[in-house]
Amino acid sequence: MNKHTPIKPPASLLERANELYDFGAALRGPAQEATPVAQPASPSVAEPEAAKAPVAPVAAPAVAPVPPQPVVRPTPAQAKPRAHIDRDALRAANYIDPEGPVTGLSEEFRIVKRQLLLAARGGKGFDAIEHGERILICSANPNEGKTFCAVNLALSMATEKDNRVLLVDADFAKPSVLARLGIEGGRGLMDALADPSIDVEDLVIETDVAGLSVLPAGAQTNQDTEYLAAARTAAVLDQLTRHDPARIIIFDSPPALAASPASVLALHVGQAVMVVHADVTTDSALRDALSLLSGCENIQLLLNRAKFSPTGRKFGNYYGYGA
Ligand SMILES: Nc1ncnc2c1ncn2[C@@H]1O[C@H](COP(=O)(O)OP(=O)(O)OP(=O)(O)O)[C@@H](O)[C@H]1O
Ligand SMILES: [Mg+2]
């Protein structure tokens, strides 16, 4: 009688990418070694803080005493008007719907997010890695799904009650994050890097997805890489963290092989996610791209658009995208 092969637990998109592209120990940072632990599903979107508890002072009642009101500390997010994120556009483009039901896609990003957050914050026996709260999303070539993954990861992380997520459009030549979310652009990171009189925090746009804010790319210059390489970049990024230490900062970058900002940004982040387009990204392109990101010590591969999933999960099946 044939022996049954033991069934392996479902592999995450990070693990499957590593099986496909064997870059071995060169890639393994702390987050790589950490086995993602299944957690109870978090609610799709946390109720906006403002809606949870009234902050207006309560007048002393004439008769019955009012029970003590919880102290609500205004977060930076509450101070600004919120831009509306176009849920219909997200759904139409097969992105995670912040208020939608749990889907295969949201589950995949939940697993990826756990691993990145563990490296960012530490826990379960692992120390937090330096600047692990800054995560660069990159790929070797154009069109491999960087923005798709950056936006979905940000939406997924924003559901974490203790986190706030700042999604930075760092693709200065071809910014697309705000358009994907249906938000109007404006001044952004590059403006703050080019002009020391600008407070980068003033350019952060709060959104009506609780916990999610975005920073536009800003005006492109012909010296983007030089501005990024200057000392001011570290100061501007530090300022973003100092303003809100609970923030996870996700950078949507240009392709590593097509533009130089990605390799410079890699110097400033604690973690990088290299999106690989299943069946398309070649081994040599990936190897070249990884060497360009060598400024970051913790790089993980994330498999996008795999047509075959041993787990039967659907992420990457194009969902009607393209052919
Ligand atoms: N797994 C997926 N399922 C469905 N659609 C996807 C998936 N991955 C990417 N796409 C779609 O493919 C197109 C290209 O993806 P995306 O814009 O994220 O790539 P990119 O790497 O950011 O490209 P660029 O290098 O031009 O910035 C987009 O329309 C995106 O919505
Ligand atoms: Mg993009």
Q: Is the Cβ atom of 174 under 6 angstroms away from ligand 1?
A: yes
Tokens 């190897």, residue located: 287
Sheet holding 271-277, edge to edge: 82-83, 205-207, 212-215, 164-169, 247-252, 134-139, 271-277, 299-304
Q: Which atom of ligand 1 is nearest to the CA of 94?
A: 4
Burial 76-104 (b: 16+ CB within 10 A, else e): ebeeeebbebebeebeeebbbbbeeeeeb
- Looking at residue 240, its pLDDT comes to 96
Q: For strand 205-207 and strand 212-215, is the pairing parallel, antiparallel, or unpaired?
A: antiparallel
Q: What is the pLDDT of residues 59-84, one digit of tens each?
A: 333 334 444 444 344 455 456 789 99
CA torsion 186-189-191-193 (nearest 10°) is 170
Q: Is the Cβ atom of 191 under 6 angstroms away from ligand 1?
A: no
Instruction: Give the mean pLDDT of 237-262.
Output: 94
- Looking at residue 75, its pLDDT comes to 54
What is the pLDDT confidence band of residue 57, given thresholds at 50, 70 and 90?
very low
What is the pLDDT confidence band of residue 321, given thresholds at 50, 70 and 90?
very low
Q: Mean of the per-residue pLDDT values for the chain?
A: 79
> What's the CA-to-centroid distance between 305 and ligand 1, angstroms?
9
Q: What is the pLDDT of residues 187-219, one digit of tens each?
A: 999 999 999 999 999 999 999 999 999 999 999
Rounded CA separation 177/162 (Å):
24
Q: Is the Cβ atom of 147 under 6 angstroms away from ligand 1?
A: yes
Q: Which atom of ligand 1 is nearest to the CA of 180?
A: 31
Report the first-to-last Cα separation within the chain, whole angstroms.
43
| pLDDT > 70: percent of the chain | 72
Where is average pLDDT lowest: 12-21, 49-58, 99-108, 223-232? 49-58
Q: Which atom of ligand 1 is nearest to the CA of 258?
A: 25
- Looking at residue 148, its pLDDT comes to 97
Cβ neighbours for 33, distance < 8 A, ≥ 6 positions apart:
126
Between 319 and 291, where is the model more confident? Answer: 291
Q: In this structure, are residues 302 and 108 in contact, taking their beta carbons and an 8 Å threshold?
A: no
Where is average pLDDT lowest: 30-34, 127-131, 312-316? 30-34
Between 95 and 162, where is the model more confident? Answer: 95
What SS3 state is found at 43? coil
| pLDDT > 90: percent of the chain | 60
- Looking at residue 126, its pLDDT comes to 86
> What's the CA-to-centroid distance between 61 and ligand 2, angstroms?
56
The distance from CA 86 to its chain's CA centroid, rounded to whole angstroms, is 18
What is the pLDDT confidence band of residue 139, given thresholds at 50, 70 and 90?
very high
> What's the CA-to-centroid distance between 145 and ligand 2, angstroms?
7
> What's the CA-to-centroid distance between 93 and ligand 2, angstroms?
14
Structure tokens that stand for 207 in this block: 């959104």
CATH superfamily of 13-34+76-320: P-loop containing nucleotide triphosphate hydrolases (3.40.50.300)
CA torsion 25-30-32-37 (nearest 10°) is 150
Q: What is the pLDDT of residues 16-28, one digit of tens each?
A: 777 777 665 446 4
The two counts, helices (H) then strands (E), for the chain are 12, 8
Instruction: Give the mean pLDDT of 109-129.
Output: 93
- Looking at residue 303, its pLDDT comes to 93
> What's the CA-to-centroid distance between 76 and ligand 1, angstroms?
31
What is the pLDDT confidence band of residue 163, given thresholds at 50, 70 and 90?
confident
- Looking at residue 278, its pLDDT comes to 87
CA-wise closest residue to 274 among 295, 238, 258, 298? 298
What is the pLDDT confidence band of residue 221, given thresholds at 50, 70 and 90?
confident
Q: What is the pLDDT of residues 287-313, one digit of tens each?
A: 999 999 999 999 999 999 886 554 554
Where is average pLDDT lowest: 130-134, 220-224, 253-257? 220-224
